Amino acid sequence: MKFFRWKVLLPSLLSLFLLVQFLYFNHKIIDVRKSLKARIKKHKTHIRGSDFVFYKAFHNKFLLPKELSKVPYADTEMIKRVKKIKIRDVFAPYNGALIEKKDGYWLLFRYDNIRQMYFNKIDSNVGCVELDQYLKQTNSDFFTIETNSNSSEDPRILKMGEDFLVVFNDLFSAENGRRGMHIGKINFEQKRADNVSPLDLKIATTEKNWSPFVYQDSNGESSICFEYQVSHPRQILYLENLFDPKKQEIYQQAASLASIPWEKKWGMPAGGTPARLVDGEYLAFFHSKFRDKAGILWYVLGAYTFEAQAPFRIAKVSPYPILFEGIYDNEYLNTAEPTKCVIFPGSYAIKEHDGKTLIQLACGENDSSVKVITFDKKELLESLVQIEKK
């Protein structure tokens, strides 16, 4: 009787055993396939990234990623000219900041000196050069603006009254590597920044890309404000007692903001140029960045306006990145990373020419050069889309 039971159960047990074995090995096969697919995908990504670096480095050719493939280039009605700025005796200046003066322009820029390549020790400095009305260097040589630091980065320049101010990024403390924004008054005769004040909110370890602007109240009093964040949640900082660090205070206010019509695939909008009053609203340029499937990091730029009074609500914005013929074409020099395609807005000048107003935007390209993009103001503003009030 027992033998009969085992005879009946044995095929069932054997079938169950074989099913378990099948499921086990099938699971292993699936894992192997997934691992193989992941390795192949990683290998293809590496190849795409290597191809990008090779063709960019040796042929200066590349294709825009799919995120930008359908973005139209700005036409010649809006962008009148793109000019690479040549500066004598400076190797690979970048992240320029332009502002007009009586007989030409001041151009600030960043340049790096490599102390020890092996240990990646780099000094970063703020340089300054005088340009004529045609954006060419005058007979005057460039000079370094002394900031009492060898880690000053990414200057912006703006004017309040008769004073030229420089806003730049620097270390709060060399011991812990905390970085943040600093502001000072430019002394062109002495080639230095006076009364440099660190703006430490003690919120984040690293603070970058605050966008400054000069605000004049109803009493005619001027003060410096910063857009702490361009996108939601947007915050405006009010700075008092500009050149007295002991009395310096920063006030923070959240400004109302509707959703910016800027697609997520292009990255989160972040700060860029100082904002200036143009036709009753502040005009500024921002940047955003994203990484494509090949691992290449792309920086793109856009323009926006915001209201002239608190809470400084954003009014208009570029519907897509501003691209132009020759963007990203500068070769990689000095400390630049060949896996980045960078266009980074610094500061812009305003010029009247043949009855038209021109916006001359200084940008850093590929962390290796300074380019000035000349926009027709009217065409630029008309390219922006209105943001609905809420």
| HEC string for the chain | CHHHHHHHHHHHHHHHHHHHHHHHHHHHHHHHHHHHHHHHHHHHHHHHHHHHHHHHHHCCCCCCCCCCCCCCECCCCCEEEEEECCCCCCCCCEEEEEEEECCEEEEEEEEEEEEECCCCEEEEEEEEEEECCCCCECCCCCEECECCCCECEEEEEEEECCEEEEEEEEEEECCCCEEEEEEEEEECCCCEEEEEEECCCCCCCECCCCEEEEEECCCCCEEEEEEEECCCCCEEEEEECCCCCCCCEEEEEECCCCCCCCCHHHCCCECCCCEEEECCEEEEEEEEEEECCCCCEEEEEEEEEECCCCCCCEEEECCCCCECCCCCCCCCCCCCCCCEECEEEEEEEEEEECCEEEEEEEEEECCCEEEEEEEEHHHHHHCCEECCCC
Q: Residue 157 domain-assigned?
A: yes
Q: Quick one: 116 and 250 in the same domain?
A: yes
Band of the pLDDT at 47, cuts 50, 70, 90? very low
Q: Quick one: 55 and 84 in the same domain?
A: no
CATH at 108: 2.115.10.20
The total number of structural domains that make up the chain: 2
User: Pick from 62, 94, 114: which residue ends a domain?
Assistant: 62
Q: Residue 74 domain-assigned?
A: no
Band of the pLDDT at 27, cuts 50, 70, 90? low
Which of 248, 226, 229 lies closest to 237, judged by CA? Answer: 226
Band of the pLDDT at 178, cuts 50, 70, 90? confident
Band of the pLDDT at 116, cuts 50, 70, 90? low
Q: Residue 68 domain-assigned?
A: no
Task: Give the whole-angstrom CA distance, residue 69 versus residue 225.
Answer: 37
pLDDT single digits (tens) 300-338:
999 999 999 988 888 999 999 999 999 999 999 999 998
Give the range of the structural domain holding residue 3, as residue numbers without chain letter: 1-62
- The distance of Cα 384 from the centroid of its chain, to the nearest Å, equals 19
User: Pick from 11, 33, 62: which residue ends a domain?
Assistant: 62
Q: Quick one: 48 and 126 in the same domain?
A: no
Q: Quick one: 301 and 376 in the same domain?
A: yes
Task: Give yes or no for residue 189 having a pLDDT over 80.
Answer: yes
Strands 385-386 and 369-376: unpaired
User: Pick from 62, 89, 107: which residue ends a domain?
Assistant: 62
Provide the pLDDT for residue 43.
42
Task: Give yes or no for residue 55 having a pLDDT over 90.
Answer: no
Are the CB atoms for 368 and 332 separated by under 8 Å?
yes
Q: Quick one: 88 and 24 in the same domain?
A: no
Average pLDDT for the chain: 85
Of the given ranges (16-20, 209-213, 240-244), which has the lowest mean pLDDT?
Answer: 16-20
Q: Residue 70 domain-assigned?
A: no
Q: Residue 24 domain-assigned?
A: yes
Q: Quick one: 31 and 144 in the same domain?
A: no
Q: Quick one: 58 and 83 in the same domain?
A: no
The mean pLDDT of 40-44, rounded to a whole number, is 45
Q: Quick one: 29 and 146 in the same domain?
A: no
Q: Residue 69 domain-assigned?
A: no
Longest CA–CA separation in the chain, Å: 114
